[in-house]
């Protein structure tokens, strides 16, 4: 319990201090935001801060901080360290920069921003990469909820029926103005996600039996406690397994959607950094719940073999009774749906930025919404989709790496102080090591030994950092002079 409470406090204090620091070095001002400068009633629609916060939270979260945290908990409470420091130093910075850079570039999609600062080649890579990633997310979050709904309803309403219903909803949410569907539903489901996590945390801390079972970090320091139940190495597997709840590139594809609705730059700290820290707290609670409820990482790993949805339902119902069952149902069905609809909407926005198609006109929105959802619908019928999905976690963290590097370049080229540049460049270097190491060692990728993956990952990350220093500080003398002054 002590480790959990300390981690929780560090997350809260980290938000209070580090988010203010990055806001200060980013130099927020009173410039007009895109929503104020040219509202279009569709994507550029001014909304209140609290509503945007809950929309952003559900955009970036879904079931990520639950499923990912439970998977990470198989390494024991050591996952707390990644959740806490990954959120404060990595995820919060990543989400804040992706949101604020979009706001300062007229609500541009993340692919356009990365391309602007990392070059034309990366622009094309990011455009293709982002659209494919977003459609894959939408497809995955179509099939799973449909299958769960089929289990809970009469046999005549099978998975195909519910899949059609979900896809129709996705089309509506993708096509209609953001405040008509997403702006109304998301705050409700975002509140449910928070209530579910608070309820689980409350039971663990109040119930004496659960308090006694909560593991401490120092219990996992030593030879016996260091291994995953399946001998999966903690580096870099855990850092990819727990993406949402620490740092996730998918967030960067969602932040521009909210950046187009802000009315003041001062909202960025609460909306982007605040939503990320809230997600980190949710992930921390679920990681603790996993190892506490099942008593050991081995038992948790066995339970997860039966399906993560089953684990969530069992924990919720056992800890919170019928109310927990309802919240679990909302979680495993509503949360993925609310990630899928914004994934398709973000794909539309990315394509509109790519081909410069005005989305204020309903015909233009239809021109993009129909093919995006059409491709998604076709992919739901592809039986081997699960194979492609194995690459999502790696591509997700690779995207986070690229966004952080783009943020570091932006900060330097616009005369921000060195401390601001390093706040992006250092986590970018770390995520470079994570991404490269995982790709080399993961079974679905190169499947090479850790003796090769570890040094290569570290060396490549150091090389990336060196390129940044040489290209930016040594390659732009005017900027160096400006910084020195």
| Angle formed at CA 170 by CA 166 and CA 171, multiple of 5 degrees | 120
Position 297 confidence tier, pLDDT thresholds 50, 70, 90: confident
| Angle formed at CA 147 by CA 144 and CA 150, multiple of 5 degrees | 150
Question: For residue 214, what are its two tokens?
Answer: 């909560």
Least confident residue range of 177-181, 268-272, 376-380, 463-467: 376-380
Which residue has 């005549």 as its token pair?
A: 156
The overall average pLDDT reported for the chain is 88
CA distance 199 to 97: 32
Closest CA to 127 of 405, 376, 118: 118
Question: For residue 351, what are its two tokens?
Answer: 């394509």
pLDDT at 224 > cutoff 90: no
Closest CA to 186 of 5, 31, 80, 61: 61
CB 182 within 8 A of CB 341: yes
pLDDT at 260 > cutoff 90: yes
CB 284 within 8 A of CB 4: yes
CB 190 within 8 A of CB 58: yes
Which pLDDT value is given to residue 387? 58
Which of the pair, 382 or 165, is modelled with greater confidence? 165
Q: Residue 414: which residues within 8 A CB-CB, separation 6 or more?
A: none
Cα Rg of the chain (Å, integer): 22
Helix, strand, coil percent values for the chain (each to nearest 5): 80, 0, 20
Is the Cα dihedral 283, 289, 291, 292 positive or negative?
positive
Going by the DSSP 8-state scheme, the letter that residue 32 receives in this structure is: P
CB 250 within 8 A of CB 243: yes
Q: What is the mean pLDDT of residues 47-75?
A: 90
Q: What is the DSSP string of 141-182?
A: HHHHHHHHHHHHS-TTS-HHHHHHHHHHHHHHHHHS-TTTTH
Query: pLDDT, tens digit, for every residue of 3-15?
Result: 999 999 999 999 9
CA distance 414 to 156: 60
Position 64 confidence tier, pLDDT thresholds 50, 70, 90: confident
CA distance 356 to 127: 13
CA distance 268 to 20: 11
CB 262 within 8 A of CB 33: yes
Question: For residue 331, what are its two tokens?
Answer: 């979680």
Which of the pair, 239 or 295, is modelled with greater confidence? 239
Tell me how crowded residue 354 is: count the other CB atoms within 10 A of its CB: 20
Q: What is the mean pLDDT of residues 21-43?
A: 94
Percent of the chain beyond pLDDT 90?
57
Which residue has 């039986």 as its token pair?
A: 383
CA distance 328 to 59: 18
CB 256 within 8 A of CB 102: yes
* Helices 250-259, 120-152: inter-axial angle, 10-degree rounding: 90
Query: pLDDT, tens digit, for every residue of 241-256?
Result: 898 889 999 999 999 9
pLDDT at 315 > cutoff 90: no
Question: For residue 337, what are its two tokens?
Answer: 């749906």
- Residue 285, burial from CB neighbour count under 10 angstroms (0-12, 13-18, 19+): buried
Which pLDDT value is given to residue 440? 94
CA distance 97 to 72: 26
pLDDT at 392 > cutoff 60: yes
pLDDT at 57 > cutoff 70: yes
Which pLDDT value is given to residue 426? 96
Which of the pair, 144 or 413, is modelled with greater confidence? 413
CA distance 468 to 426: 11
Given the candidates 3.40.630.30, 1.10.4160.10, 3.30.9.10, 2.60.40.420, the CATH classification of the domain at 2-391 is 1.10.4160.10
Going by the DSSP 8-state scheme, the letter that residue 198 receives in this structure is: H
pLDDT at 485 > cutoff 50: no
Which pLDDT value is given to residue 67? 86
CA distance 412 to 420: 8
Closest CA to 75 of 212, 194, 240, 278: 240
Domain ranges of the chain: 2-391
Which pLDDT value is given to residue 471? 81
Question: For residue 363, what are its two tokens?
Answer: 């015909």
CB 214 within 8 A of CB 1: yes
pLDDT at 363 > cutoff 50: yes
Which pLDDT value is given to residue 425? 96
Which pLDDT value is given to residue 344? 95
pLDDT at 221 > cutoff 80: no
């Amino acid at each position: 319990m002590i480790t959990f409470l300390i981690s929780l406090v560090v997350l809260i204090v980290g938000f209070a201090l580090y988010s203010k620091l990055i806001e200060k070095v980013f130099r927020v001002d009173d410039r007009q935001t895109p929503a104020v400068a040219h509202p279009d009633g569709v994507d550029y629609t001014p909304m209140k801060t609290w509503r945007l916060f809950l929309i952003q939270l559900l955009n970036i979260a879904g079931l990520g901080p639950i499923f990912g945290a439970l998977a990470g908990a198989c390494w024991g409470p050591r996952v707390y360290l990644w959740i806490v420091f990954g959120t404060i130093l990595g995820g919060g910075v990543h989400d804040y920069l992706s949101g604020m850079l979009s706001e300062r570039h007229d609500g541009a999609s993340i692919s356009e921003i990365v391309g602007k600062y990392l070059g034309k080649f990366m622009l094309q890579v990011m455009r293709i990469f982002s659209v494919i990633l977003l459609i894959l997310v939408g497809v995955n979050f179509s099939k799973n909820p449909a299958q769960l709904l089929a289990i809970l309803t009469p046999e005549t309403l099978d998975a195909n029926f519910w899949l059609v219903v979900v896809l129709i909803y996705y089309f509506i949410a993708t096509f209609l103005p953001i405040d008509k569907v997403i702006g109304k539903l998301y705050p409700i489901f975002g509140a449910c996600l928070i209530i579910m996590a608070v309820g689980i945390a409350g039971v663990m801390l109040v119930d004496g039996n659960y308090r006694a079972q909560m593991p401490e970090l120092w219990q996992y320091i030593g030879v016996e406690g260091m291994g995953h139940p399946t001998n999966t190495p903690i580096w870099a597997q855990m850092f990819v397994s727990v993406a949402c709840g620490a740092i996730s590139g998918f967030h960067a594809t969602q932040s521009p959607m909210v950046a187009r609705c802000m009315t003041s730059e001062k909202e960025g700290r609460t909306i982007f950094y605040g939503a990320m820290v809230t997600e980190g707290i949710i992930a921390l609670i679920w990681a603790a719940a996993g190892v506490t409820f099942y008593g050991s990482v081995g038992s948790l790993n066995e339970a997860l073999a039966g399906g993560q949805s089953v684990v969530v339902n069992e924990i919720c119902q056992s800890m919170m009774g019928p109310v927990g069952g309802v919240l679990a149902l909302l979680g495993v069905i509503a949360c993925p749906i609310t990630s899928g609809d914004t994934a398709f909407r973000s794909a539309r926005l990315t394509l509109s930025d790519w081909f410069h198609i005005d989305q204020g006109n309903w015909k233009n929105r239809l021109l993009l919404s129909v093919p995006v959802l059409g491709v998604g619908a076709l992919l739901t019928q592809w039986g081997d989709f699960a194979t492609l999905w194995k690459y999502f976690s790696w591509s997700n963290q690779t995207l986070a790496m690229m966004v952080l590097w783009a943020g570091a370049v932006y900060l330097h080229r616009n005369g921000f102080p060195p401390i601001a540049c390093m706040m992006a460049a250092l986590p970018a270097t770390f995520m470079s090591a994570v991404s490269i190491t995982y790709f080399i060692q993961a079974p679905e990728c190169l499947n090479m030994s850790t003796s090769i993956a570890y040094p290569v990952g570290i060396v490549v990350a150091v090389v990336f950092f060196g390129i940044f220093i040489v290209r930016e500080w040594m390659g732009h003398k005017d900027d160096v002079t400006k910084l020195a002054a």
